[in-house]
Structure 1
Amino acid sequence: MFTIDAHLDLSMNALEWNRDLTRPLEEINHREKNLTDKPDRAKATVCLPELRKGNIGLVVATQIGRYVAPENDLPGWHSPEQAWAQTQGQLAWYKAMEDAGEMFQVNNLETLEKHLALWNNGEASEKKPIGYILSLEGADSLITVSHLERVFKNGLRAVGPAHYGPGRYAQGTGAVGKMTAIGHELLKEMERLNVILDATHLCDDSFWDAMDRFNGPVWASHNNCRALVNDGRHYSDKQILELIGRGAVIGGALDAWMIVPNWQRGISDPKTMKCNLNAVIDHIDHICQLAGNANHVGIGSDLDGAFGTEQCPYDLKTIANLENMADLFGKRGYKDIEIENLMHGNWLRFLRRAWA
């Protein structure tokens, strides 16, 4: 089944992890077998050939460059200008992938329908480019609000104002407080340009501040449920209902600590913790039960977002295994049309409405 993944840090993997994502997965992992600089070395699950194997023909692909103030001990860049340069290097990689025929930028209804027609023409997917919608995870790298229009012209179509910790525009995971004054300006500019607000990573205060001020399209690219894993990174039922009321779609994430409670990074083991694809579906099903339908949730895996097989469902060895979720949804009692919506239809409906 055609599948959409609404959150992949492809350029980060290419430039910061130095992975050639055009190569087979086994080759990428073999090349890292003696590296110890990151805990997920030789445990990658994502590359372009594996996306094709799984019929994952469209993804939301990120740029990311976090600014950190002197008192902030999170990893990040020491000036917005450095963060900007990082994201522009990431953009250059996406453009290089386009030039090589490996990827295709989807940024409006015309390019969306053109890409869908290619992927659904009945031919094998081995040679087809992966469609990508460009998203900015954390807005710190926008040196000024006026930079948004510049990146919009480069194809950027979604922005998450915050990432982890305090930010220049909003407060993210682990922080507290409303959006900043320039964050409010950013929301106005996003609304003017019809840029999608990605509510992912906004702390509770900034989330409600954004909901009060923003009238454009909203989604949550990769979020799970606080009712199942009690952590501020996830959404409460009240927040999920707010998003449902706004017509949002929420992407179920596959990072183990977001799936099962009491996960200890670097210590816990997916199998021991019973972290599998069914546990991911528990979160997706919870959102469906709140909504009363299967129209507001999909997949936003975040696979290889600084973790690999050591910290994802044990029954997933490669991102191509996302296709197995369709059968698992069926075993939960979801009807065929509902499964199609969960695998791709909800994201497509959202985009067609947002870009109309």
Structure 2
Amino acid sequence: MDFIRRKSLEILNRAFVVDMHMDIGIELEKQRKKGYTHVLNNDYLEEFKAGGVNLVIAAIFIENEDLPHKGLHLALRQVSAILKDIEECKENFIFCKDINDINKARKDKKIGIFISLEGLEPVEDDLELLNVFYKLGVRGMGLVWSRRNAVGDGCTFEPVKRGAEGGLTEFGVKVLEFAKEKKMIVDISHLNDIGIEDVLKLSDYPIIASHSNAREIYNIKRNLTDDQLRKIASKGGIVGINAAKIIAGDKKTANMKDLFKHIDYIKNLIGSEHLGLGLDLCDKLIRHGVKEVPKNGMISYDVLNTHKDIVKLVDMMVEKGYDDGEIENILGKSFLRVLERIMG
């Protein structure tokens, strides 16, 4: 084993590793509907352990074909699927709602699962429904996916014919106020530029972009401008690096080097204390037929094959000369600091 890999493994073994975005909800719901149980143990545990993963933000995502009528129904089914599977796999996993739960997960050497809505379509324009999700333990909210909802407009992956885009709606502003009151995470990944500007103006607390990269490196609307990155940092927030090929670079040829360009650029622009991992690994979703993850001739949708490849990213950071503190920040320490600030 060479020096770089030894160094990487030393850092990975002592770091607290967080994946700020993974679509676990929709997969667990689909698997459990087919009668499968203990999915976290059977499909995820090995790769999480190999990648040193300690905490995952599990997204609740609704496909276009299920909106609007089945949004709430399926979101609740996904939350239920996550909670049931964690209970079945409680020797390895723990449901986390706050810092105390995360500390318990660390102490008990279990993997924490933290739930966030990816798009507020399930609540439509009703804060009482959002409050129901809060009472169920949901502590994060991605305001939109790449479509329009009652909060605001999502940015599209590729140019489409559409009317004028808007910023946050009146309901969207109420959602920000609700999030502040309840100390919930506000996630702006997928939000359009006008909406992001509104959130940055209206929020006086840290916000996150859980799975977005640098537009300067790959110029698509799903990625963030330098100005947006600086403003997120100025609020004390964090950006999670996205390992989907369509976000990192060319959808057929993007590789680890392309992904690392985003890490290096954002780290140099706003510092490692505002940078994390939001890998958004979706190859499993393709197997389950999720239409919003089209394969489009790609051998793989993801730059990283699984979480096992996190060590390869650490190798690249070590080789580039990042110090141990910077690497530990990016792996998860920065997210924990942001969470402490939001939740107190």
TM-score relative to the length of structure 1: 0.80
1:1-356 matched pairs, under 5 angstroms: 1=12, 2-16=16-30, 21-22=39-40, 24=42, 47-65=44-62, 75-79=64-68, 82-100=70-88, 101=90, 102-119=92-109, 128=110, 130-143=111-124, 144-174=126-156, 176-261=165-250, 263=251, 268=252, 273=253, 275-291=254-270, 293-304=271-282, 306=293, 310-313=300-303, 316-356=304-344
What's the CA shift for 1:278? 2.7
- Secondary structure of 1:156's aligned partner: coil
Question: Is the 8 Å Cα contact of residues 3 and 323 (structure 1) preserved in structure 2?
Answer: no
Unaligned runs of 5+ in 1: 26-46, 67-74, 120-127
Write the letter of the residue equivalent to 1:114: K
Find runs of 4+ consecutive structure 1 residues off by over 4 angstroms: 17-20
What's the CA shift for 1:351? 1.4
Write the letter of the residue equivalent to 1:349: R
- Secondary structure of 2:18's aligned partner: strand
Question: Is the 8 Å Cα contact of residues 138 and 160 (structure 1) preserved in structure 2?
Answer: yes
- Secondary structure of 1:298's aligned partner: strand
Question: Is the 8 Å Cα contact of residues 26 and 62 (structure 2) preserved in structure 1?
Answer: no
Deviations 1:310-354 (A, max 9, x none): 1222xx332211122212101111001111111111111111222
What's the CA shift for 1:65? 2.4
1: CA distance, partners of 2:27 / 2:187: 21
- Secondary structure of 2:336's aligned partner: helix
Question: Is the 8 Å Cα contact of residues 217 and 262 (structure 2) preserved in structure 1?
Answer: yes
2: CA distance, partners of 1:335 / 1:307: 38
Identity %: 24
What's the CA shift for 1:24? 4.6
Higher normalized helix content (fraction of residues): 2
Deviations 1:235-280 (A, max 9, x none): 111111110111111000011011114x3xxxx3xxxx2x222321
Aligned counterpart, 2:159: none
Question: Is the 8 Å Cα contact of residues 140 and 184 (structure 2) preserved in structure 1?
Answer: yes
Aligned residues, how many?
304
Aligned counterpart, 1:29: none
2: CA distance, partners of 1:246 / 1:22: 34
Q: Aligned-residue CA RMSD in angstroms?
A: 2.0
Write the letter of the residue equivalent to 2:53: I
2: CA distance, partners of 1:245 / 1:163: 24
2: CA distance, partners of 1:210 / 1:353: 17
1: CA distance, partners of 2:319 / 2:258: 13
Question: Is the 8 Å Cα contact of residues 194 and 217 (structure 1) preserved in structure 2?
Answer: no
Question: Is the 8 Å Cα contact of residues 255 and 307 (structure 1) preserved in structure 2?
Answer: no
TM-score relative to the length of structure 2: 0.83
What's the CA shift for 1:159? 0.6
2: CA distance, partners of 1:12 / 1:152: 19
